[in-house]
Amino acid sequence: MAKDPVARLRVAPGTKVDLGRHATDATLGWEKEWALEELERAKERLDVLQARLYAEEQRSVLLVLQAMDAAGKDGTIRSILSGLNPAGVHVASFKVPGGRETQHDYLWRVHEQAPAKGHIGVFNRSHYEDVLVVRVKGFAPKAVWSKRYEHIREFEQLLADEGTRIVKCFLHVGKDEQRERLQERVDDPEKRWKFRMGDLDDRALWPKFQRAYEDALERTSTKYAPWYVVPADRNWVRNLAVAKILLGVLEDMDPQLPPPEDGIEGLVVR
Amino acid sequence: MAKDPVARLRVAPGTKVDLGRHATDATLGWEKEWALEELERAKERLDVLQARLYAEEQRSVLLVLQAMDAAGKDGTIRSILSGLNPAGVHVASFKVPGGRETQHDYLWRVHEQAPAKGHIGVFNRSHYEDVLVVRVKGFAPKAVWSKRYEHIREFEQLLADEGTRIVKCFLHVGKDEQRERLQERVDDPEKRWKFRMGDLDDRALWPKFQRAYEDALERTSTKYAPWYVVPADRNWVRNLAVAKILLGVLEDMDPQLPPPEDGIEGLVVR
């Protein structure tokens, strides 16, 4: 067993993925109370490293979040990234493409949102929708979507080669847990606006979506852009796991404050 | 005296501005300890209203920050907006224009960064640089920059008419306070990377910059996009003042959760 339980969530490149064998309610050996405190410690450390990344302005981080409805993409972003300096965080939410977006290849709008040097970019949904919903709902024929895994690997390789560290998290929620969460949205007048009738259509296609996720994870988890399967039935597990994954990347990057301009030391400002 | 001291910071449209008569070290009648607590309360309320603005997805807010170096634009953003959901905040930092930016009119790159519906956009520097540094350093002749006040008023009118609430804050720091802050950047190895030799060139042009600011504030403070002169020698005053200005806008907008789709009430999810 790896020392750090989040390392075990990583999909090793080239391995088979069977989501049925990944527990959605795992605790990763954590106790809730400790995990909430640990999340605060992780956020403090993220804050320090983000400030350095921003100052260094040489590299960037991209966190991709994908999940079935109500698995908690929004909640994860809020929980982990609020508290950071908003000047250095850019969240891109990809919705159903429209307008000019549909006049280009599917990576066009994604590339535009790639994080700038010094920034942490977060994709709330992403180019993976183009091998997930597009495949499951038949928005494009297999001859089209089946070529996309390679496009995506090469696109992410480009970003990685040019200074972006990429991590991708699949927030893995159970079908029963999703039912409860959707029901809660229906029942709670404060949350009802979040519910779309279309959510039920996607839910009815659950096995096909799981299969499409398995293929995407298998075919696009790479050394330079690994996927993690994050158990998402418990928000506190999900949040800490994603925070630790992101923190691990930043610790490994070890961003540095840039050197001062020449001749500054000892200067007297008048 | 207005009940809310921040209302007194507003530049009434059509009035003359003499920055020498605006104290940079004013406390606005606040005590520091109270102000720090009040800031936390303001942030909690901002959080609630931002969530509604984001859910409503009909209107947006634009906060423009302008100031001399070291007045605390970055610190203000960090202090007020960290804690909000980063998915709904977009900070645009405008640097010296380059590349394609210079192949277009000066508002082209600014328009692109205007906040999307549901978002709070923050401009760290802005199109105002085009009537400030451009004027003071002579990067364009008077015949060019003098027309820009009207362009800017009309541009902001457009945004306002189309659903963006605009507030603009000039963080007014004193020349002595700036000297101390720049000296601190020079002396502190952790902060030294922030210091640019060019900061001294701008400092040497202090009176010209103040004059350019006075003109910009006078000519572009409008009912739909007012300027506020925020005393910035004390960070705790500056932060609370800007937070209250932003909060006032959001309270006035009173964003609402959108209505749910038809037929959701009483639905049972299976």
| Alpha-helical runs (H) found in B24-147 | 32-56, 73-81, 108-112, 133-136, 142-145
Give me A55's structure tokens.
């100052």
Using pLDDT thresholds of 50, 70 and 90, give the confidence band for residue B3. Answer: low
Residue-wise pLDDT tens digits, A48-93: 999 999 999 999 999 999 999 999 999 999 999 999 999 999 999 9
Distance (Å, rounded) from C-alpha B83 to C-alpha B75?
14
Residue-wise pLDDT tens digits, A84-132: 999 999 999 999 999 999 999 999 999 999 999 999 999 999 999 999 9
Q: Number of A to B CB contacts under 8 A, please give it.
A: 106
Residue among B89, B90, B192 minimizing CB distance to A260: B192
Helix (H) or strand (E) holding B205: none
Q: Which domains does chain A have, with CATH numbers?
A: 7-253 (3.40.50.300)
- B257 CA: distance to closest CA in chain A (Å): 7
Asked whether B264 and A191 are in contact (CB, 8 A), the reply is no
Q: What is the pLDDT of residue A146?
A: 98
**Optimal mutation site among A112, A267, A268, A270, interface B, most CBs of chain B within 10 A:** A267
Q: What is the pLDDT of residue B265?
A: 87
- Sequence-distant (6+) residues with CB within 8 A of B62 are B114, B115, B120, B121, B122, B123, B159, B164, B165, B166, B167
Q: What is the pLDDT of residue B2?
A: 47
| Alpha-helical runs (H) found in B103-234 | 108-112, 133-136, 142-145, 148-161, 175-187, 197-204, 206-220
In angstroms, the Cα distances linking B134 to B128, B130, B169, B209, B216 are 9, 5, 19, 10, 12
Residues of A in contact with B93 (CB under 8 A): 87
Q: Residues for chain B: how many in total?
A: 270
- Sequence-distant (6+) residues with CB within 8 A of B188 are none
Residues of B in contact with A87 (CB under 8 A): 74, 77-78, 91, 93, 122, 124
Determine, for residues A86 and B89 on separate chains, whether the beta-carbon distance falls below 8 Å.
yes
What is the chain A residue with the closest CA to B82? A83
Residue among A82, A183, A186 minimizing CB distance to B84: A82
Residue among A77, A84, A195 minimizing CB distance to B87: A77
* Contact map slice: B 80-139 vs A, CB within 8 A: 81-87, 89-91, 93, 122, 124
Predicted structure pTM score: 0.95
- A146 CA: distance to closest CA in chain B (Å): 31
Flag whether pLDDT at B1 surpasses 50: no
* Matching residue, tokens 């001749």: A263
Residues of B in contact with A270 (CB under 8 A): 179
B183 CB near a chain A CB, below 8 Å? Answer: yes
Asked whether A49 and A248 are in contact (CB, 8 A), the reply is no
Using pLDDT thresholds of 50, 70 and 90, give the confidence band for residue B4. Answer: confident
Angle separating helix axes A197-204 and A175-187, nearest 10 degrees: 170
The residue-averaged pLDDT of B145-162 equals 98
- B259 CA: distance to closest CA in chain A (Å): 6
Burial of residue B17 (number of CB atoms within 10 Å: 0-12, 13-18, 19+): buried
Residues of B in contact with A182 (CB under 8 A): 269
Q: What is the pLDDT of residue A3?
A: 67
**What strand order describes the sheet that includes B227-231?**
B89-93, B120-124, B60-67, B164-172, B227-231
Distance (Å, rounded) from C-alpha A225 to C-alpha A245?
12
Residue among B78, B182, B196 minimizing CB distance to A85: B78
Q: What is the pLDDT of residue B254?
A: 98
* Contact map slice: A 141-180 vs B, CB within 8 A: 179
User: What does the longest C-alpha to C-alpha distance in chain A come to?
Assistant: 70
Using pLDDT thresholds of 50, 70 and 90, give the confidence band for residue A2. Answer: very low
Using pLDDT thresholds of 50, 70 and 90, give the confidence band for residue A1. Answer: very low
Q: What is the pLDDT of residue A265?
A: 87
Three-class DSSP category at A236: helix
Distance (Å, rounded) from C-alpha A144 to C-alpha A130?
10
Q: What are A170's strand-pairing partners?
A: A66, A229
Residue among B77, B195, B269 minimizing CB distance to A260: B195
Residue-wise pLDDT tens digits, A193-231: 999 999 999 999 999 999 999 999 999 999 999 999 999
Residues of A in contact with B192 (CB under 8 A): 260, 264-265
* Matching residue, tokens 């930043």: A250
Phi-psi region of B104 (alpha: psi -120 to 50; beta: other; left: phi over 0): beta
A257 CB near a chain B CB, below 8 Å? Answer: yes
Q: What is the mean pLDDT of chain A?
A: 96
